[in-house]
Amino acid sequence: MTDTPLITAQNLSVHYPLRGGLIGPKPYVGAVENVTIEIAAGSFFGLVGESGSGKTTLGRAMLRAAPITKGDVVFDDGEVAYSLKNLGKKDLKDYRKRAQLIFQDPYAALSPRMTVRDIIAEPLEVMGLTSSRAQTDARVREIAGKCRLNVEHLRRFPHAFSGGQRQRISIARALVSGPKFIVADESVAALDVSIQADVLNLLKAIQQEMGLTFLFISHDLSVVAHVCDHVAVMYLGRLVETAPTRALFSAPRHPYTKALLSAIPSLDPDDRGRAQKLEGEIPSPTNPPPGCKFQTRCPQAIERCLVEEPVLEAAGPEHKVACHRWEELFAQA
């Protein structure tokens, strides 16, 4: 791993305007608010959160597929350095070669009217990366082979394949342009458990082989624990905790992270009642509560949490928490 992070989100905010409000400030949804994360080259960075956390939006913003309202995203792979907020058209086209996305839904992400070969070849043709059909075919076959798709499969249409196979086609399409940075947005969520492990192993193998950097977005903490080396937890558009995987799972600092971890149903039938039940619902992003966003459900909220929003503080090597009380709670534990 090099010293310069491959991609950094700096105080990134993504706001979506809402209708109405002719007078006064325009209402908006703060999908992502003031998030700063650094992803080192070669890492498998996990981003977790529930609905409304903004994790998908953050991933898209880092690909310039969502508007950047405030802050910036900086990409530096040693060859080029881009500031995504002010990227010109030509640079944006180049960036698209270096950063790609794997979708969640294997059924909607592939055009039902194109053969697998054409689907995988499309980025090459659009970006003009190959100069002849033979070259395109060779590259397609090479990448397809890495994803365990053979020549027979290339002739077929998506409807011939299962969910796991389709996801591999999606992965092949993302890899074909030779990117350095891949955002995997809930890429295994729609797959059966026995297939999930297969696709995850494939992603890790590809990462090793091709030296890629992954941003792995998921709501499934167990999966993230196994494949990621660093994890960031989001709640209602804000970053609440970020730490190396082992540290996060063995000693979480933020009350939300603790609740998330304990809410995962344990495989031990005698371990019932352990789950720390969080009361209440996740607030709507259009109407966030004042102060700390988690205060409406936090069992450890105090007066200060209702008015003042906490900032990210260092809690250990590469470990940051956004909570007013993390130190005292950690000391108590």
Q: Which tokens in the block code for residue 286?
A: 């259009």
Residue whose CB is less far from another protein, 113 or 331 = 113
State which of residues 51, 135, 208, 286 lies at the interface with another protein (CB under 8 A): 51
Cα–Cα nearest to 245, from 51, 47, 56, 50: 47
What is the Cα–Cα distance from 101 to 184, expressed in whole angstroms?
A: 6
Identify which of residues 157 and 330 has a Cβ nearer to another protein in the complex.
Answer: 157
Q: Is 16 in the site for another protein (CB under 8 A)?
A: no
Chain centroid to CA 128: how far? 28
Residues 80-109 that bind another protein (CB under 8 A): 92-93, 96-97, 100-101, 103, 105, 107-109
265 is written with which tokens?
């149903």
- The reply on whether position 277 binds another protein by CB under 8 A is yes
Minimum distance from CB of 11 to another protein (Å)?
A: 24
Residue number with CB closer to another protein (3 or 281): 281
Binding another protein (rule: CB under 8 A), the pick from 22, 23, 193, 333 is 193
Answer for the pair 70, 12: CB distance below 8 angstroms, yes or no.
yes
Nearer to another protein, 217 or 303 (CB): 217
Largest Cα–Cα distance in the chain?
67
Q: Tokens 């365990």 — which residue?
A: 148
Shortest distance in whole angstroms from residue 3 CB to another protein:
26
**Interface segment toward another protein; rule CB under 8 A; list 36-44, 77-85, 139-147, 191-199:** 191-199
| Residues 292, 297, 299, 302, CA torsion sign | positive
Q: Which is nearer to another protein, 43 or 196 (CB)?
A: 196
- What 3-state DSSP class applies to 47? strand
Per CB under 8 A, does 263 bind another protein? yes
Asked if 322 is part of the footprint of another protein (rule: CB under 8 A), the reply reads no
Q: Is 269 in the site for another protein (CB under 8 A)?
A: yes
Q: How far is the CB of 151 from another protein (least distance, A)?
A: 12
Up-side HSE of residue 202: CA atoms within 13 Å toward CB?
Answer: 24
Going by the DSSP 8-state scheme, the letter that residue 267 receives in this structure is S
Q: CB 189: neighbour CB atoms within 10 A?
A: 14
Q: Which residue has the tokens 């903490």?
A: 221
CB atoms within 10 A of CB 212: 22
Site for another protein in 283-312 (CB under 8 A): 284
Q: In whole angstroms, give the CA distance from residue 224 to residue 72.
A: 26
Exactly one of 67, 157, 251, 301 binds another protein (CB under 8 A); that residue is 157
How far apart are the C-alpha atoms of 175 and 146, rounded to whole Å? 10
Interaction of residue 113 with another protein, rule CB under 8 A: yes
Please say which residue, 76 or 122, places its beta carbon nearer to another protein. 122
Which amino acid makes up residue 97? Answer: K
275 binds another protein (CB under 8 A): yes
Binding to another protein (CB under 8 A) within 194-233 occurs at 194-198, 200-201, 219-223, 225-227
Helix, strand and coil in the chain, % to nearest 5: 35, 25, 40
Asked whether position 73 contacts another protein by CB under 8 A, the answer is: no
Segment interacting with another protein (CB under 8 A) among 8-16, 77-85, 131-139, 147-155: 147-155
Residue from 145, 246, 307, 328 that binds another protein (CB under 8 A)? 246
CB 178 within 8 A of CB 143: no
Q: Does 272 bind another protein (CB under 8 A)?
A: yes
Residue range at the interface with another protein (CB under 8 A); choices 37-45, 192-200, 311-319, 323-331:
192-200
